[in-house]
Structure 1
Amino acid sequence: MIIDESFQTSDIGHAEAMARRIYPRAELRESTGVPFRYEHLARGEDGVTFARFKIDSTMDIAVDFDRVAAFGVHVAGRYNVESNGDHVDTSQPFLFTPGPGSSLSEQLDVLTVNIDTDVLARSAAQRLGVDHAHLRFGRHEPKSPVLRSHWLRTVNYVWNSVIQVPDVFENDAIRASTLETVVTAALAAFPIEVSETARNFDFASSAAVRRAKAFIENNADQALTVAQIAEAARISVRALQLGFQRELDTTPMGHLRDVRLDAARRELAAAGDDVRVADIARRWAFANLGRFAAQYRTRFGENPGDTLRR
């Protein structure tokens, strides 16, 4: 289900009700006489939601993060935070781990990336090649300065170039692939320990790889994940990855990228003067035009604009 909502109010009861659409167990307690104003923009789908909160006045907020990990970036204002009894440093990207959290804020502006723990666990399991994965949350800050910077760049790019751009956000393929990247980046950047509970030992047959290829080629304009491709091929994600590496010397998502590049090239070659490269790139799920152009040059030895102008 797609989430797309924008809300503003000066009524703290209404604000609490709207906050509970994102965090069902949220309580807002105003602690100053300064006029109250609350606004949020929330967009996402399938257990991954970006939310920007702005709250005037001084606020005491209590939230039970039930089966969700909330990755925060403090933009402005005073913000004192606790998560599961631990003080959290909000001067850098931080994590509300599942469980009770609280904050005292003044003139708050904060961006959060809220990811269901089931979504995190499924993503971790797919990358391990196991049926199920168990997550154990550690500290509340990124694992290293390099990963902290990578996480910030990822969040800023997705927020500014995808979430807040309606034509891009509404593209199913771009939205799904972008949010999948966000989940991967979160697992890499923060100290979330992953342990496997059941390993897949099945291997992909040539027939299964052919089924996966056919599914990709017939649905390349749709939002696809590795898990969906594996399901269509009737094999595990790990088996799918091994099969593509063995038979095609690539990954399922690498093959999907090449199929989309080939389709974009066909459209560019047949397009008229009123067509833009950006429109075709987005139709085939390339959200970043610069990255699309680089991948296009690597595959075809020319810029997409050169193909269009022939």
Structure 2
Amino acid sequence: MDSDDVSDVEEIWKTFVPSASLLRIDPDDFAFRWRSATLCDMSIVRYSLTAEVHSRVQPEDQLFACRLVTADGVLRSRRSVIEPGMPWATDSTQVEAEWNGTAEVSALIFDRGRAQELARRITGDDLLSLRLTSVHPRSDAAARQWARAFDYLLNSAMSVDGDELIEAGLARHALTVVLSCFPSTFGSAIVRDGAGEGGATVSRALAYIDDNAHLPITVDDVAEAVHISTRGLQYAFRRSIDTTPTEYLRRVRLDGAHRDLRNAANDESVAQIARRWGFGNSSRFNNLYRQTYGRSAKETLEGG
């Protein structure tokens, strides 16, 4: 929906997050655009809001993961400042946001009780008390993973068309992404689980990939580095973070190529940068790049 009525903002937002409140909103130059999808006791929301805004959220019965992108804004919890553009998550901690201008907000919102039930099924720990232990993501790589996953989830949810099986799969994927990207008791339960070393192994594998993605490593190399079989590594990744080592390695390399394209020297080409990050097929690289970043690699190179 699009709206120029200030009262719509808080009314719609409170439908999804009852604890949310708009402490101040200046109606001058006001613009509001909202997209959302609801599936299996969770909601996926993206909206843009142009105004001078001061807002607050403190979930009680929800688990809330969000990203706010704005050129002029401040985000803070009671204990720390949150960098605008970085995702954050809370299941009880109060977070306040202020901005003057346009902000784009992306959020994954879960019923806390249902999220705990799903987390127990994923870990096999029937006594798991699900709790986030920090509002901040584990790392910059985790923040990027969250942002990419959100775009995929929103686009997929918009085309589900009432298929309950697909909805359940998307909800599971959404929760797994949040609990993989943010510190929580879920991570401890994975480590305690029967495949428990798998959680620690995946953490070591993620770190190895992040540190070595610029080199011509393969999934076999990753498995050898963390002392596990390739098949075992694939199983551990799928169980712990609902992706594969190949997919994660590709995403990290795309991020590296994206960064180099934005900071390229005048004499560098797209093909050179793609090859540097292990993409020998230029056509495939360009397709993956456009799907991930919404523009061509050449446009990024020329635009900086």
Q: Give TM class, smaller chain.
A: 0.5 to 0.7
Q: Which runs of 5+ in 1 are unaligned?
A: 1-6, 201-249, 255-310
Matched, 1:184 2:176: yes
Corresponding residue to 1:115 among 110, 119, 122: 110
Matched, 1:25 2:40: no
Please tell me the residue identity of whatever aligns with 2:124. G
Matched, 1:43 2:23: no
Q: Secondary structure at the match of 1:159?
A: helix
Q: Say which is worse superposed, 36-45 or 51-60, in terms of deviation.
A: 36-45
Inter-CA distance 24–191: structure 2 relative to 1 (3 Å threshold):
same
In the alignment, what sits opposite 2:4?
10
Deviation at 1:110, TM superposition (A): 1.1
Aligned length: 193
Map 1:187-202 → 2, pairs under 5 A? 187-194=179-186
Counterpart CA distance in 2 for 1:77 and 1:17 is: 25
1:169–1:175 CA contact under 8 A, matched in 2:
no
Matched, 1:87 2:96: no
Map 1:291-302 → 2, pairs under 5 A? none
Counterpart CA distance in 1 for 2:73 and 2:114 is: 28
Counterpart CA distance in 1 for 2:78 and 2:60 is: 12
Could you report, residue by residue, the CA deviation over 1:199-241 in whole angstroms, capped at 9, with x for unpaired residues? 99xxxxxxxxxxxxxxxxxxxxxxxxxxxxxxxxxxxxxxxxx
Matched, 1:147 2:142: yes
Aligned-pair Cα RMSD in Å = 3.0
In the alignment, what sits opposite 2:217?
none
Deviation at 1:52, TM superposition (A): 0.9
Q: Secondary structure at the match of 1:65?
A: coil
Could you report, residue by residue, the CA deviation over 1:110-153 in whole angstroms, capped at 9, with x for unpaired residues? 11111222233222212332323112322222213333333232
Counterpart CA distance in 2 for 1:187 and 1:96 is: 11
Map 1:265-280 → 2, pairs under 5 A? none
Inter-CA distance 114–127: structure 2 relative to 1 (3 Å threshold):
same
Could you report, residue by residue, the CA deviation over 1:48-99 in whole angstroms, capped at 9, with x for unpaired residues? 1111121111111122322222212234443322234432223322223424
Structure with higher Rg: it is 1
2:70–2:85 CA contact under 8 A, matched in 1:
no
TM-score by length of 1: 0.54
Q: Secondary structure at the match of 2:117?
A: helix
Deviation at 1:46, TM superposition (A): 2.8
> Which one has a larger percent strand, Structure 1 or Structure 2?
1
Q: Secondary structure at the match of 1:118?
A: helix
Counterpart CA distance in 2 for 1:33 and 1:24 is: 22
In the alignment, what sits opposite 2:122?
127
Deviation at 1:13, TM superposition (A): 2.3
In the alignment, what sits opposite 1:96?
90
Matched, 1:172 2:170: no
TM-score by length of 2: 0.55
Q: Which runs of 5+ in 2 are unaligned?
A: 194-234, 240-304
2:62–2:111 CA contact under 8 A, matched in 1:
yes
Q: Secondary structure at the match of 1:131?
A: coil
Q: Secondary structure at the match of 2:129?
A: strand
Q: Among all aligned residue pairs of Structure 1 and Structure 2, give the percentage whose two residues are the same amino acid.
A: 17
In the alignment, what sits opposite 2:62?
68
Q: Secondary structure at the match of 1:135?
A: coil
1:51–1:111 CA contact under 8 A, matched in 2:
yes
1:63–1:100 CA contact under 8 A, matched in 2:
yes
Q: Secondary structure at the match of 2:53?
A: strand
Counterpart CA distance in 1 for 2:70 and 2:11 is: 23
